[in-house]
Amino acid sequence: MNAADTANAAAIAAKRDKRRQFITPEGVDLELAIASSGLRFAALVVDLTLIVLLLLALTLLAVWVGTGTDGADVAFIIWLLGFFALRTFWFIGFELGQRAATPGKRLVGIRVVARDGGRLTADAVIARNLIRELEIFLPLTFLGAGAAEDLVGWGTSLAGAAWTLTLGFFLLFNRDRMRMGDLIAGTWVVQAGRAKLATDLAATSAPEAALRFTDAELGVYGVYELQELERVLRVREARQIAQVAAAIRTKIGRPDAESDEDFLEAYYRQLRARLERGLLFGKRRADKYAKE
Partner 1 sequence: MSQAQVAPAFSASRFRSEREGDWLEFDRLLTRLEKGSAASLSTDELLRLPVLYRATLSSLSIARATSLDRALNDHLESLAMRGYFLLYGVREKRGARLARFFTHDWPAAVRAVWKETIVIAVILLLGVATSWSMTASDPEWFFQFVPEEMAGGRTPQASADYLQSTIGHGKAADGEEVQSGLSVFATYLFTHNSRVSIMSFALGFAFGVPTMILEYYQGLVLGAMMAVFAGKGLGVEFGGWLAIHGTTELFAAVLSGAAGLRIGVAMLFPGDADRLTALARAGRTAGKVMVGVIIMLLCAGLLEGFGRQLITDTAVRYAIGGTLLLGWLAYYYAPRRGMA
d(CA 272, CA 268): 6
Q: Shortest gap between Cβ of 141 and partner 1 (angstroms)?
A: 9
**Closer to partner 1 by Cβ: residue 237 or 256:** 237
Do residues 278 and 290 touch, judged by C-beta distance below 8 A? Answer: no
- Residue 267 DSSP SS3: helix
Of 41, 39, 194, 183, which is closest to residue 115 (Cα–Cα)? 183
Q: Which residues in the chain belong to E strands, given as ranges?
A: 19-20, 32-33, 110-114, 187-191
Q: Shortest gap between Cβ of 3 and partner 1 (angstroms)?
A: 26
Do residues 108 and 42 touch, judged by C-beta distance below 8 A? Answer: yes
Q: What is the largest CA-CA distance in the chain?
A: 86
**Closer to partner 1 by Cβ: residue 80 or 147:** 80
Do residues 263 and 229 touch, judged by C-beta distance below 8 A? Answer: no
**Closer to partner 1 by Cβ: residue 151 or 238:** 151
Q: Shortest gap between Cβ of 89 and partner 1 (angstroms)?
A: 9
Contacting residues toward partner 1, per CB under 8 A: 24-26, 28, 30-32, 69-70, 73, 76-77, 80-81, 84, 88, 98-100, 111, 113, 115-116, 119-128, 130-131, 133-134, 138, 167, 180, 183-186, 192-198, 200-203, 214-215, 223, 226-227, 230-231, 234, 272, 275-277, 279-280
**Closer to partner 1 by Cβ: residue 39 or 226:** 226
**Closer to partner 1 by Cβ: residue 6 or 93:** 93
